[in-house]
Structures are given as structure tokens and as C-alpha cells.
Chains A and B, each alone.
Chain A
Amino acid sequence: MAEAAQLEARKIPYVAAITEGVRTVMLEQPEAFVAGEDVAGAGGVYGYYNGILDEFGPERVFDTPISEEGIVGLGVGSAATGCRPIIDLMFMDFLGECMDEVANQLAKMRYMFGGAATLPVTMLTMAGAGMSLAAQHSQSLEAWICHLPGLKVVMPTTPYDAKGLIIAAARDNNPVIVVLNKMSLAISGEVPEESYEIALGKANIVRPGTNYTIVALGRMLHEAVKAADQLKELGIDAEVIDPRTLQPFDTQTVVESVKKTHRAMVVHEAVRFGGIGGEIAAQIQEEAFDYLDAPVARVGAPFSPVPFSPALEQHYIPNADRIVAEAKKQLGV
């Protein structure tokens, strides 16, 4: 029985994979600490720091006041002077509280100083709608931070990627913002127990296909895979790509796919207008225009704040049906 269990790959939920990623970093890097609102005593509002305080103690794991600008400043000042902080921004929506520290200090300090400062800051933050948390706790604001030279941005979707990208983010000598998704917390997947990293800037072809490319960000990956099953019935064999890192973006993997499939769609949970999907679509058109048989389609949230009521929210968040409908429209089938 024990042998059988070993042969079967271990599966853990996304939330536990985040914890393992953080724990691995804390074990590997004595200069690392974890700071943020409710990360220590409470283990984080979503529980992904559970056990971290007990294992590493209050000098390395501590609660901060509800002071997001202070938290990011703690990261900037300590990283510039030899620490490797892991800071937690409880909800991505709180970027508004700390955007100066993120945009004007964290992202720019190295450049402004002519390369003299190194800022190995890892910032974990929670994005996404789906829990009826309404307009200020549900946003996907990755486009805000992808627009800032100096930052790296990753968006892990599977448990495997969550652990591997957190470890890679913490090993990187640049500020990396890890955009987590709250609706993925309970999704289980295979996660090795040992330490491993997923290279930053490397997309993952989650499902190979031959005549259609879907680039799906964050939780939309799961919807895109479902949509791909439905599209199969229409003779569309979709290749689904998870960029995993948004900044730097793996243009090459996406473009190579489109050169093969000739048709592409970008899907994200963020508001469609001004979303990162526009950038990805533009890159595809710049690099693979002659290969395209149709305009690049985009699926994103409507141009409204995230609504509270489940009756509204379910229509707000893009899903597999919307992806299929948009593909049909795009391809005229």
C-alpha cells in the first residue's frame, strides 16, 4: 500500500502549494522574512501562511499594521540593505493604498540609482472575483503593474505553478509580484515535495492543439481548458497556453503557437478594455500578422466594477461558454 501511494503523485490544493512555496523559501534563504496583515497569528486571511509562524518564529514571520504603503516600504528598505522580504498584500485591490511605494519606489529604485540598488522583494497578493466580495476585493489589476518597468509579474494558476513560481520569484534578484487567485485556492494538483522552480518568463502549453490558440491568464486557464473541450466538437483543436509570467512576457511561445494554428484568442478575468490582453493581441499581430486567418479575439470582464450579487457576478466573470461564444463569433462558425 505504501508503495502504491508513493507511485501515485502527490496532489495538494493551491492554497497548500502556496504555503509550501513560502516555506521552501524560508528554509532556503535565511535573509527571508514574511510580513503583512494577519500573516502570522492568523496564518493569512486565506490560510496560506498556516504553520509558517510556528516553524520560523516571530522574528521572521510577523503581522504588520494595516498599512500597505508601510508594508511595501518595509520591503523596499530592507531589500535594498540585504534582506529578501516576502511581503503580503492581502488583496490586490489594496494596490491603491501603496501604489506610490510599488510604482515609484520599488519598481524604479534600481534604475534611478544607475543599477546600484538590488531589490529582491517577493510580494504575494490575492486577485480575482467569484466570492461576492464586491468591487474592492475582487479585481484583477495585473495590467497596472505590468506597465511598470522594473517589476516582474507572475500569475500562478495551478498548485504546481504556485509553488514553483513563488520559489523562482524569491530567488530572483528583482521585485516580483505574485498574483494569486482566490477561486483557485481549493483546486488540487500534483506538487512535488521537493524544492523546484519554474523559470520566470516561460509560458506553459497546458493543452496542445493544432488550429486555434487560447492564451488564458490566471483562473481563466481552467475555463479555457473546458472551452477547448467544447470547441473540439466544432472541429477546433485549441492549444491552451498559460503565460504564467506576464512580465517579462513569453512572446515567443505564443507567437510560435499562432504561426502553427493561425487563429488566436486572449482571455483574462480583468476588465477587457486596457487589459493585458490588448498587449498580447498586439504582439501577436506584430510578430505573426501574415499567419493570422482572423483577428485576435479578446475575452475579458465587462467595463464595470465587479458587482456584488452572485446573480450579477456570475455574468461578469468570463467563463468557458463566453470563450466558446467569442470563438464562434470570431471564426464565423
Chain B
Amino acid sequence: MSEEISKDTLLDLHRRMVRIRRFEETAGKMMEDGKIPGALHLYVGEEAVASGIMAHLSNEDQITSTHRGHGHLIAKGGEFKPMFAELFGRATGYCKGKGGSMHISNMALGMLGANGIVGGGPPIAMGAAFSNKFRKTNNVACCFFGDGASNEGSFHEAANMAALYKLPAVFVCENNGYGEYTPQANHQAIVDVADRAPGYGMPGVIVDGMDVIAVYEAAGEAIARARAGEGPTLLECKTYRYYDHVGVRGMGLTYRTDEEVEEWKKKDPIDQFETRLNEQGILSTNDAQAVHDEVLAEIADAIKFAEESPYPEASAILEDVYA
């Protein structure tokens, strides 16, 4: 399969995943150290999904994200400096310190925001997809949401309307098995969220969300279909978050077993992919390590930038309420 994918793309997918992983691990540590205020919902374990989708998108294609949004922004091209600055609440952040982790965004990258409301994204993504069609662009809007959000009415309304109007949208369900702290079996009677797709009149596709190539290929089809004017797809990626719903603790949790976490970690998207690239002679262990080191150096730089950045002035409170 991956023979068809260029070496550049493979390396690009790898780098996107590493960028997310290292950013999130560092952000988690900084939160534990008390340097980042508020709540962080970290994306560690789910990197293949954002990376595999975003590799098909340009800055003119839009995404809506979730409360677990750093990975989406990084994969969409987000830079570490304004990201860390935002998490630190600094004036140099992507949102001038007004959004924080849960609302991190960048309109220039087509990233229409992380969202503190579960199910907040789908109606907005549907609106952006409509806009693409109305303005006769060739762009696509991808909506990331979780298994938990699939139970929100907002998802239902957006999916129905996107299919009805044949909008260039892809609904990417990151099914990590938990709606916040509640296992999927306790929040919906189905196992596959994709089963709902035919009910909206769109195809539902299930893919291994720990396999970046599988995501990349399935996303390619769904996005091509959307660009061709054939309407939306519900792409369900089976994935897992290593950490807790909020914060970094991953083990010893009451609502899931450590064994389950260990099982999923065996399918780690980055380890798996690095092994594969190594076997194919595309990326040696040393070269892979070099990517990690480079990313870590960039992160260190970004943290320095964020720490040295000023906090917003109190007068900024009333700025940006209105245009």
C-alpha cells in the first residue's frame, strides 16, 4: 500500500506525529509544574488521526477541532511559539491569551478552533463546508469529534444538513472509547459510530486510527469525494488516548484498566510507523531520533519564547469583543 505514497509524504506524516507527541508531552509536564494554567486535554496516542487527515489539506481547507485540539492545530501547521505562548496565557499567543488550550485556533491556517463544548464543532464545520460550496472554492471542511460528541444533537443536525446539501465535509470521528470518563459501552448502544452514517445518507468508513497510513489513505478518499462535490463522509478512526481525559495521568485510573492502556500502547502510532519506515529503508533509527531531537529543540526554543513573552495588558479584556 505505502509504495504508492511518496517518501516525502511518509516523512511528513512521521514528522507531524512526532511534533504532536513531543509538544503534548512537554505541555503536560509544564501543566504539572504549574506553568500552564487551566485544563489541558492532551492528544497523546491519537497522533495518527490528525496527521493522516491534515496531510491532505491546505491552509484554505478548514477544520474544526475539539477540546483535545493541540494535535489538530500542530498537524494543520501550527507553530510551537504562539501555541505555547497561548497555553501560557501570553499576549503573543495565537489568541492573544484569550482562548487558551480549549479555544486555540488559527484562522490563517483554516483552523476554526478547538472547542470547549463537546459537539461544538460539527455545526461550524458544516457552515464552513457550505461556505466552500457557496463561494465555489474547491475546499473541504473537516470536522473532528469524538465518540462522546456523536451523542450530541449538534452532531446530528450538522451531519444531516451536510448530507442534505452535499457539502464538501468530512466528519472525522476520533473514537477513543471514552466520552470524557465514561466508556463507550455506557454512552451508546453501538460499537461503530460509522454505523450512523447511512442514517444521514453518507458513507461511513472505519479505519485503524493507530495506523497513520490507513488514516491517510481513507482520508484521501473521503476528501477527494468531498472535493468532487459528492458530499460528506463519516470517517471513524479507532484510537486511544494514553492520558486521562484531562491532564497527564494515564495509569491507575478508576474507569479503565492499566492492561487496556498497555494493549493500546503496543499499537503506538509512532513506534509502529517508525518500525515500518525503518524496515522499508526510508527512515533509520538514527534519522528518526534526529527528528525527535530537532522537534525537542524547537519546543525548548518555543517555551523560552513563551516564558519571555508579556502577559496581556488588563486593557485587552475589552478588546476583540466586537469587530
Contact = CB atoms under 8 A, between A and B. Distances in A.
A298 B98 CA distance: 37
A113 B321 contact: no
Interface string B164-186: 10000000000000000000000
Instruction: Pick the most buried of A81, A82, A83: most chain B CB atoms within 10 A of its CB.
Output: A81
B126 interface: yes
Interface in B99-158: 99, 103, 105-108, 112-113, 115-117, 120, 122-132, 134-135, 141, 153-154, 157-158
Contact of B164 (A65, A75, A79, A109): A65
13 contacts: A59-B134, A70-B158, A70-B161, A77-B123, A77-B126, A78-B128, A81-B135, A83-B134, A100-B117, A111-B320, A113-B98, A113-B103, A150-B321
A116 to B, nearest CB: 5
Instruction: Pick the most buried of B97, B127, B134: most chain A CB atoms within 10 A of its CB.
Output: B127
Nearest to A104: B117
Contacts of A75: 127
A202 interface: no
B323 A69 contact: no
A309 interface: no
Given A83-B134, A149-B321, 19 more contacts: A67-B157, A70-B160, A73-B123, A74-B127, A74-B161, A77-B131, A78-B131, A81-B128, A101-B123, A105-B123, A110-B322, A111-B321, A113-B103, A114-B94, A114-B96, A116-B95, A117-B105, A119-B323, A173-B323
B68 to A, nearest CB: 16
Given A81-B131, A173-B323, A111 B98 contact: yes
Contacts of B95: 112-114, 116
Nearest to B119: A100
Contact of A81 (B62, B99, B153, B160): B62
B70 to A, nearest CB: 15
B154 A77 contact: no
Nearest to B103: A112
Interface in A33-84: 33, 59, 64-65, 67, 69-70, 72-83
Interface string A150-169: 10100000000000000000
B127 A78 contact: yes
Given A67-B161, A69-B157, A114-B95, A109 B113 contact: yes
Interface residues of A, number: 43
In this complex, the interface size class of chain B, counting residues with CB under 8 Å from chain A, is 35 or more
Interface string A225-264: 0000000000000000000000000000000000000000
Contacts of A81: 62, 112, 127-128, 131-132, 135
B8 interface: no
B321 A110 contact: yes
Contacts of B52: none
B128 A80 contact: yes
Instruction: Pick the most buried of A31, A72, A109: most chain B CB atoms within 10 A of its CB.
Output: A109
Contact of A80 (B99, B124, B126): B124
Interface of A: 31, 33, 59, 64-65, 67, 69-70, 72-83, 85, 100-101, 104-105, 109-120, 149-150, 152, 172-174
B281 to A, nearest CB: 42
Contact of A113 (B99, B135, B153, B322): B99
A77 B124 contact: yes
Interface in B167-221: none
Nearest to B143: A77
B93 interface: yes
B33 interface: no
Instruction: Pick the most buried of A59, A83, A104, A118: most chain B CB atoms within 10 A of its CB.
Output: A83
A173 B134 CA distance: 19
Contacts of B134: 33, 59, 78, 83
Contacts of B132: 81
A109 B121 CA distance: 12
B124 A67 contact: no
A104 B129 contact: no
B124 A114 contact: no
A168 B110 CA distance: 29
Nearest to B135: A82
B319 interface: yes
Contacts of A59: 134
Nearest to A149: B321
Nearest to B100: A112
Nearest to A62: B165
Contact of A73 (B96, B98, B103, B124): B124
A181 B135 CA distance: 33
A74 B130 contact: yes
B160 A67 contact: yes
Instruction: Pick the most buried of A80, A83, A120: most chain B CB atoms within 10 A of its CB.
Output: A80
Contact of B112 (A77, A100, A173): A77
A148 B130 CA distance: 26
Nearest to B97: A114
Contacts of A82: 131, 135
Contacts of B164: 65
Nearest to A173: B323
A150 B99 CA distance: 15
Rank and list the top 8 A-B pairs by shortest CB-CB distance, nearest first: A73-B123, A77-B127, A70-B157, A114-B96, A115-B320, A114-B95, A67-B157, A112-B103
A109 to B, nearest CB: 7
Instruction: Pick the most buried of B125, B158, B161, B323: most chain A CB atoms within 10 A of its CB.
Output: B323
A119 B124 CA distance: 12
A149 B321 CA distance: 7
A261 to B, nearest CB: 31
B299 to A, nearest CB: 22
Contacts of A69: 123, 153-154, 157
Given A76-B127, A101-B123, A116 B157 contact: no
